[in-house]
Every structure is written in structure tokens, then in C-alpha cells.
Amino acid sequence: MILKKLVVGPFASNCYIIGSESNKEGMIIDPGAEAEVILGNVKDLGLDIKSILLTHGHIDHIGALKEVKEATGAEVAIHTDEAKSLQEQPLSTLLGISYPTPLPPDRLLKDGDSIDISDLHFLVLHTPGHGPGGICLLGQGAVFSGDTLFNYGIGRTDLPGGNYSQLMNSIHTKLMVLPDNTAVYPGHGPDTTIGTERRGNPFLQT
């Protein structure tokens, strides 16, 4: 699997570009900002982007969506419970960030859906709590955890739609059941593993 991590925008959001080694089909997870940087990397990697996957609809994960969608023509996928956030973005008004409203999503996701990019196969895990339609994407020995789980941290639950007990339930029932050696690629900050978080994440110690 080709994997490129970019840190973009004022909130230092992680955007991941994923691709198949065999035929160069690819996917972008969370085009949060800096469309030109994302698209430049896609070009350097020689990828044909088939899908743009949004872990959730917060402005810091979708800020470059419109431009990246227009440039790649890729299908935009987001969980059903998060889709309206593409049209209404109260956080952008709140934070004073201008936000070009994208087209409606092409594909609405639910728990258990699969996303296939050539020979790469991913499973959608619905992990509400940071937001109602937050998802993690599991596949190729890795989980892309959005703002659900961070290295030694968890997503905030004080934003509209957030719910702490729901978030903890999502982490325990969907993520902590994964093998220790599963790589974790979060929406912000450094990579980690499920085992590292199981042992050391202060929010997961009982």
C-alpha cells in the first residue's frame, strides 16, 4: 500500500493519500485544507484518485474538499449521519474560516460498508461520539481513526453532536477489540498502534 501523510491547515489536520501499488488507484482521506499541496502529492505519487473518504464533517477535515473533488472527479463518501455537515458548517462561521460549500456526497456510508480501491480493502466502522456520523476506516493492518482516537488522546466531545459516553463506547467496542499491532493513523498528531493506546492512553485506563 502506498501511504502518504500530509499535515494541513491551521488545525494541523492529517490528510492521508492511499494508493494501490499494483495499478495506482488511490483514495484521499480528509482533505482538510491546502488543496494544491494535496493535489501536488497525488500527482507526484502518480495516483488516479477514485474516492475521497471523510472521517467526519468538521471544517478542518473537509476544507479542501470542493477543490480536490473538482480536480480528481473522485466519489465523496461520508457517513449518513454526518452528511448534512457538508452543507451547514456552523464551525466555520464560529471560527471565521471561509468554506466553499461542496456538492452533496456521492456515497452515504453506514457501519459495515466496504470501500475497495483496486486490491486494497477497507471496512467502515461507525464510531459516533466526536460527532454523530464519525467513522474509522479499517484495512491493510491499519485503522484511520479520524478524531475518534489519537496518540494518547481522544476526540473532543464538547462540539455540537458530541457525546462522551458514546465516544468511549465506540473506542472500546470498535477499536480496542483490534489486534495490538494494528497501526493507528489519527486525524491529528502522530501515528500510533492499538497496543500502545491500550497500554498508555490515559483516557483508556480504568
Per CB under 5 A, residues contacting Zn ion are 58, 60, 147, 187
Q: Report which residue type is found at 22.
A: S
Helices 35-45, 65-72: axis angle to 10 degrees equals 30
* Residue 131 CB, nearest approach to Zn ion (Å): 6
Task: Enter the DSSP assignment of 110.
Answer: -
* Residue 61 CB, nearest approach to Zn ion (Å): 6
Of the two residues 18 and 33, which places its CB atom closer to Zn ion in the complex? 33
Residue environment code for 151-164, b if the CB has 16+ CB neighbours within 10 A, otherwise e: bebbbebeeebbee
* Residue 147 CB, nearest approach to Zn ion (Å): 4
Of the two residues 104 and 189, which places its CB atom closer to Zn ion in the complex? 189
Of the two residues 50 and 130, which places its CB atom closer to Zn ion in the complex? 130
* Residue 187 CB, nearest approach to Zn ion (Å): 5
Of the two residues 60 and 82, which places its CB atom closer to Zn ion in the complex? 60
* Residue 118 CB, nearest approach to Zn ion (Å): 28
Q: Indicate the Cα dihedral angle 26, 72, 108, 129, nearest 10°.
A: 70
CA distance linking residue 30 with residue 175, whole number of Å: 19
Nearest to Zn ion by Cβ — which residue?
A: 58
Of the two residues 40 and 189, which places its CB atom closer to Zn ion in the complex? 189
Task: Enter the DSSP assignment of 133.
Answer: T
- Is residue 181 within 8 A of residue 149, CB to CB? The reply is no
